[in-house]
Structures are given as C-alpha cells and as structure tokens.
Structure 1
Amino acid sequence: MASSNSLLSEMQFLCPICLDVFTRPVSTPCGHNFCMSCITCYWNDTPVCQCPICKETFEKRPDLKVNTFISELASQFMSLQVTDAHIWSADQQKASCGGAVLCDICTNTKQEAVKSCLECQTSYCDVHLEPHHRATGLKRHTLVDPLASLENMICKEHTRLLMLFCKNDQVLLCDVCAISRHVNHDVISMQQAYKEMKALLGDTEAKVQQMIQERLQKVQAMNESVKQSVTETKDVIANGVQDLTTLVSEIQKSQKELVKVMEEKQKEAEEQADEFISGMKQEITELQKTMMKLRELKQTEDQLCFLQSFPNSSLLPHTMDLSTFSFNRHAEIQHIRKSLSKSVSELKMLLNKMNTEIQKFSDDTDVSNNTMLRYMQQFEVDIVLDPDTAHPLLTLSDDGKQVKYSMGSGLWGIQNLNPNMFTEHLAVLGQRGFSSCRFYFEVFVGGKTEWCLGVATASVQRRGALVRGPGCGLWAIWFLEDKFETFSSPNVPVHFGKPERIGVFVDYNGGQIYFYDRQTATLIYCFTECFFTEELYPYFNPCDNEYGSNLDPLIIVPVSRME
C-alpha cells in the first residue's frame, strides 16, 4: 500500500471541506484550494464571502476557474490509488482463497501436496511422502489432508492438530489439551465453533444494521426538527420585529401627539392669560380715572356744587367679577405629568419582563425544560377516571379525580364488578381516549412509596397479569421508593428521585410520551419512536403497601402554569 510519501501526497490532494480527493479543483485569491462545488455551496450558505481556511474576506465574490494543473495531478493520483488497491485486493484474495497446497520439499517445479505431516509440520507430494510409508520412525507420524499455514494449525505444546474450541476460554485446542486442561469446560469441534460464531456474527451484523437504521432515523428526525426550528425561528423573529417596530411607531406617534397637545394647551393658556391681562389693564385705567374724579369731588367745599356734581349712578365703573376667573395651569400640567409617568413606568415593566423572558430562553437547560413544560401545558385536558375499569380493591372519589388502594373498604366505597375492570393490576383508566393529537395532564403523588402512571391502549390486557415487556400496550413509569423504571423494562432504573407532582405529555402523531418532575421541571423519562394504532387512555395504578404505608391517593390536579 501507500508509503509515507504517498500519504503526504494524499493529504495534499484532499479538499478541506469534503475531505475527499479534489473534484474540479479551484484556487481562491488567498491561495487555498477547494472543490468547485464545495466552495460554491459554502459561499451560498454564508452571508460573507471569505476563505474557510484563513478567513480572508473578499469584497466581491471571486470568479473561480478550474485549476487544470491540480486537476491533472489529482487524476493521476486517483489512478495510482485504483491500481494499488487492485493489486492489494488481488493479493489478499489469493492469500485468503489459497488454492492448491504445494509440496514444501520440491525445489524446481512445485508439485501439489497430497498429505501434511503434523510432526514434521511439512506438506509432501507423492514422491516426497514415500519415506513416511517406508521408514519405521516416520510411519508413526500423523498424516492429514494437505493444510495451508500448517504451523498455525498445530498445537505448539503437543504437536497435535487443533481441531477443538473451548467456549469458556475462547481458544483452539488439540485433543490432548482438551483432556488435560479443559475437562470441565464447554469444548466443541472447530466446525461447530465456526458455525456458531458465524451465526453470532450474523446476529451482530443484524443488530449493527438495526442500530445504523435507528441512528439514520434519528438523524433524519433531527434534520427535520432543525428545518422546522429554522422556519419557526424565522417566523418568531419576523413577527417579533414587526410587533416591536409597530410598538416603536406607536410610541413615536404618542410622543408627537403629546408634544402637539401640550403645545396647543400652552398656547390656549397663554392667549387666555393675555386676554385676561389686557382686560385687567383696561379696568385699572378706568378705576384710576374714577379714583381721580372721586378725589376731585371729595375736595369740593361748596355743598351745592358737591351735591349737583355727585353722580346719580354707581360711583364704581363696570368691572369683571374676579371670583369667576381662575388660572390653574400648574395643576393640569402636574396631572398629565403623573399620568404620563405612570404609563411609561408600566411600559418599562412590560419591556423588562419581555427582556427577562428572552434572557431566560438563552440560559441553561433548566430554563429550556421550563420552556418545554410551558409548551406542553397548553395541551392540558380534563381527565376523569372510569369506575368500570377500576380493580375491585381500588376506590375512586365522587368527582373521579382521585384513586387509592383501600383493601376492599374506604371512604368512597367498593367498586362494583365489571367485565372491563382490571383483575390483577391495581389499575384504572381515564374515561376519555385520545388519538391523533397532543395532550397533557398532571398528577399529585405526594409521599407515596410506590405507584405506576402512564397511558394504555383500549385493548390493553385487563384479565390476569399483564406481561411487562414491549408490545404490551402500556407505556408507563413505575416508581419504587426512590427510583424509576419503565413498565416494559423491569429492574432497569431510568431515574432517581422522589417527586411530588408528575406531568405527563403525549404526542400521538409524533410517537412520544414525556414524564416530568413538575416541581423541578426535570425530565424523568421519554418514550420515543412509538407507533400508536388505537386510542390511548390515561393509566393510573396507586399500588399496594409492599414498600410501606402507601394508602394516599393519586390525585389528578389542575395544571399550574410555569412562571
């Protein structure tokens, strides 16, 4: 295969983007080389035209042409690779397939071997095998059909053919090894071991293929989710920008209106004040004239003249009633100032709340879980328990929101026998089934030491014991003292803790079921890639007292929204 120099050449012919040998190579102005399609796609997906290697930015997108020199070198390199790979493949095939085993003694033209001697560890043709038939010492040697790589088929300790396999120690054995050191071990023939291991490889290959398919499906689902997320993110940005732009426009409009109204009111007040002042000045002039006349009249000593000059009408001129006029512009300004300040403060509070929500969204997983829970809670449904499905040892509250184990007696009475009831599991279903939708409900479990909660199909087995395994028609988590396991996989813990309130979310079409610790917004477990073909009913099992006092009920509670 390739030498170190070839490896260096191979590195030089790899495109930095696709990591494969150049196809239609082009060179950027900064001197780096890429496949034409790779650099074109890269620039199509980035807002700035720059080199992926050195990050040099180009104001104008370069008009790239295929570098014929690098293209010819890459073609020659690929030709050498194909030739080397062909030679290597042919040599490997020849070595693996083998063909006829040749005589180890022949010096000129090698003859085909007819036997291999385990003691001599040599293969012989008819001519060179003749001493083993004639010589007394050689007659005792063990002859077998011709074997390639004979030295690898012989036990180094006993010089016997390796024909057995120890499954305990995973080693090849000769018959002496099996008798002396592997008496109590599981020893089988090499042929049987070969078949079993081939079968194991087949099973493993099938599992690997299944794992590949599962991961491909996950990748596809993730890509679809990313695409959906991109679309939704663009919508949120567009709507948010539009709403905020509209809000800014409304604020600017209010600002202009405020300035306009305040200036108009101020102008009206000034005009009113000017008019009042002008009237007052006129009245002052008239009053001053009146005061002069009164002084002259007062100084008259002649009684006859005084009485003849005394006016018949009022001594005072006509004036404005000052009590009917008020100018309290200061009070109006203070009122509008307080009102405006209150409105602005409320708007600032709303903006701060919005900024807080945006900041929370950019924080850690706990906040993401809170966001996820808030999303799920919008699909809240009203769950009422179905007494016809309840086990005889369970009692239900009158409103169908609580169920507990009562050993045949309790505050709410014993359930009547019904063909739809569970006879083995201490379980009850909800009255309403769901399909082709999303739904969410919450259950208060308090300090119970054991319970089981989830969803079940309408056809779930109700008579006798329900087998715990995939395909049983029940997707549930089972709580035991301080740990969780799924109903379908017993004795396999999936979560630890002791929550008081559980949130259950089902995405029927998406094939997913989530269980959350409602207080801490922690995901307990999620069933994924489920395939539902019938309606799903909420499943409740308060369990018995196997792990201590456990008589408290499971309570379906209204959803309290996440803050």
Structure 2
Amino acid sequence: MAQQGSLTDLEELSCFICSGLLKEPVDILCGHSFCMSCMSKHWDQESREEKLYSCPTCKSKFSKPRLVKNITLASLVEQHKKIAVVHQVDTEVQGVACDMCTERKRRASKSCLQCLVSYCEEHLQPHYGVPALKRHKLMEPIENLQENICSQHNQVESVFCQTCQKCICNLCQLDEHTGHNTVPADITKRQTELQTKQHTAQQRVRALEKNIDLLNQELRAINQSADKVVSETENKLRKLIEQKSRNLTEKIKKQQQLEVSRVQGLLKKLQEELAVERERNAELKEVATIKSYTEFLQRCSSVSAKWTHHNPPNIPVIPDRPSPLMYFEQVSMAVSELNRTCIKDFKKLVQAVTEVDVLLPPNPQSNEEFLHYSFQLTLNPNTANKTLVLSEKNTKVSSMKEEQHYPPHPDRFMDKAQVLSMNPLPPRCYWEVEWTGLSFYVGVAYRDIKREGPKSAFGSNDNCWVLDCLAESVYQVYMTFQM
C-alpha cells in the first residue's frame, strides 16, 4: 500500500506536459497543475479561436488566466525530493546489512560467529571494548547468517569443502571431512572474485563482439570492393582489347588494300604483256610455216617492221611464298611477343590481388605479442650465391672467401652474396636474426628480383628493401623507387 501511495503521490506531483516533477507549479481554472514554463510554452504554440485557451489534460477552454506559482504545491515537491534522496541512500546498501539497525539499514562490516549477528561499525564497537565480547570470533560479513548454521554442531559453516562441494563448520572439518581440500568460506571475497571474473568476461565479450562486427564490416567491404574491381577491370580490359584490336584490324585491312592494289596493278600489266607476247608468238609461228621463199622473206620483213618499236619490259622476279601467312608474319610475331609481355604483367596483377589490405590487429608492442607472428625462415639453396654456405637445415648462412661448386640454376644470385627464403612470407610475420662478423644485411624482396647485374642487389630497386647492419650498432635502411 505504501508503494502504491508513493506512486500516486508521484503522479500528482508530475507535470502532464514534460512528465517530470513540477518546476514552479501553477494551477489553472480547471484545477490541473503544470510547470509554469511548460504551460506558457504550450499556450504560445496552441492555435486558438476567439482567444480561448485550453487545458492539455481535460481540454477545458477558458480565457487566459494569470499564472501564479503555487507555494504549497512547490513545498510538497521539495519534500518529495528529500524523501526520494533518503530512500535512494537506503536502497544503495550493498553487501550484507546490519542486523541491529532498525530504521535505516547500514552496511555490515563484520559478522560474529558467537552472536550469529552481523554488525555495522557503530554496533560493532562493544565487541572492541567489552572484555567478554573481545573473545568472540569476528569474520567478514556473511549474508543470511542464521541459515548458515551447521545442524550437527550448531556452529557457523565458515569453511567450504571443495572435495564435497558444500559448506561445513570447523568441527565438521576435523571430523568427517578430515583430509579433504577445504578453503575459508569467505562469501564476500568469492563474490568479489566472481564479479571481477564476470567483469573480465563481459569486457572480452564486448571486445569479441566488436572484433566480429569489424570483421563483418570488412567482409562486406571486401565483397563490395572485389565486385567493383571485377566489374571495372572487365570493362577496362574489354574496352582496351576491343579498341586495340579494332585499330590493329583497321591497319591490317588498310595495308591489305595497298598490297592487293599493288599486286593487282602488276598483275594487270603482266596479263597485258602476256597477250602481246602470245600474239607475237602466234604470228612468228605462222611465218615459220610458210613454204614459199619469197612470201617467207616478205612476211619476215613485215613482222620485223611491226615489232621494231615494241620494247618488252623486264619480267620481274616474283619470289615463291611457301605459306600465305608469311605476308603478315611480322604482325604475328609482334602479337606473340605482346602475348608473352601480357602474361608477365598479368602475373604482377595476380600478385597484387593477393596483397589486398586486410583488417589486421593492432601493432604488437611486447615480445610476447611479437611471438604470435613468429615465422621460421628456411633458406633456398638454389638462390644462394657461390660465396655462401648453408647449414643447420638451411637456417644458417655463412660467407666464404672461396666460391663453392654449386650447380647452375636460374634462381641463383650471380653477382651479389645473397640468398632468398624457401617459402613466401605471410602478410604479418616476425623473425629474429643472430649474426657475428663485421656486417650483414637482411631484407624483404619479391621473388622476381633480378639475379645478375647491379639491380640484383637488395635495396637497389623497387622490388625490395634492406636493413644494413654495420659494426657498433649502426643500422641503415635502403630502398630505391623507380620514377
């Protein structure tokens, strides 16, 4: 009933407009109460006819009254605020409450195993001053102390038997629980430990949920980015191929027309010359068959006079073509070379695809965090320069003065004392290097780094970088960018 009355009082002291406690409460003609500022603002925003004002609660209409603060109602609101503060303090008692407090419960600081009562600091003072009470055993507050009494020995169950998983008293510990694994039944301590573990678990849950959310965002970003790149790449490559193919086809067709026109012109001339030569040959053949000496001489004279001014051109030498494809053989060779170049460049594109940016954890700071990315490097003997010797299962390399007798291999460094690892490196990895001597250098390079010439040195091109370790702890980093 008290709770219901409290709720009723709270509703009567609340403003219908802002739903909070009344601030400078005012009454209007219908009897309802509101905050002065809420009522004024409501009437300023209300659309009115004939200068009538309405109540937000009952909708009664009347002429605008003068708003005056209700002193009595304001006093009730202040009293309610004070009672609410006291009630809030009482309900904020955490842990075990004092059994001796009557009106306002305070938090217990100790529980007495002889009195079977929990005391706050004020009611605990007699146990510090009265000689008879000084001998009582005090311990951390125990909730529901009366319920934690051993039915057999009538003592507080202040020990927890981990073997039997139950609370026992000190006499039980010496009797039937002898030799069992027992610990003090400090409920407060266990609750604190549990709260700490729960807080840690909640933090891990939030961290995992955050990471899962980030990874889901990355999945969506990866899929969207990949789909976009696939679409753009297909369009660009298709347009590029179509345009270049169209240009090449037009040039081939144009050259074809020129060559065909040239050959057809030569063919026409040769055909005309062939007709003339056939006519001449037929006439000479006819003269050769004449039997009459006189007629033969006459015809010879006329034929000779007829063909005197005819100077036949030299017959051009037309080379034999073993295959029609030879006419544009250079184009075919150029296309083949372009194909090889495209395949080489395409490998770089594929490599770039495998090097997409992914969401990586924060950069490691401690040695323990670095060890999570530990990577064992195994050296590739086929890449080792002839002045280097590998040992210890290809994990150690030594520099020698004399060249070694290694078999030829296209991956071997010929001019620089260098060697590559056997396996490619993951996106994030960590390794340690121990070295002795004057100096050495270690770096990261693409597999297609040159094997001969000055550009084969680590740090001399844009395919690698190198950390040069000199004597006296001097380190230098090299990398060359090609512009």
Q: Same fold (TM over 0.5)?
A: no
Query: What TM-score do the two structures reach when normalised by structure 1?
Result: 0.36
TM-score (norm 2): 0.40
Structure ID, larger Rg:
2
- Tell me which of the two structures has the higher relative contact order, counting C-alpha pairs closer than 8 angstroms and 6 or more residues apart: 1
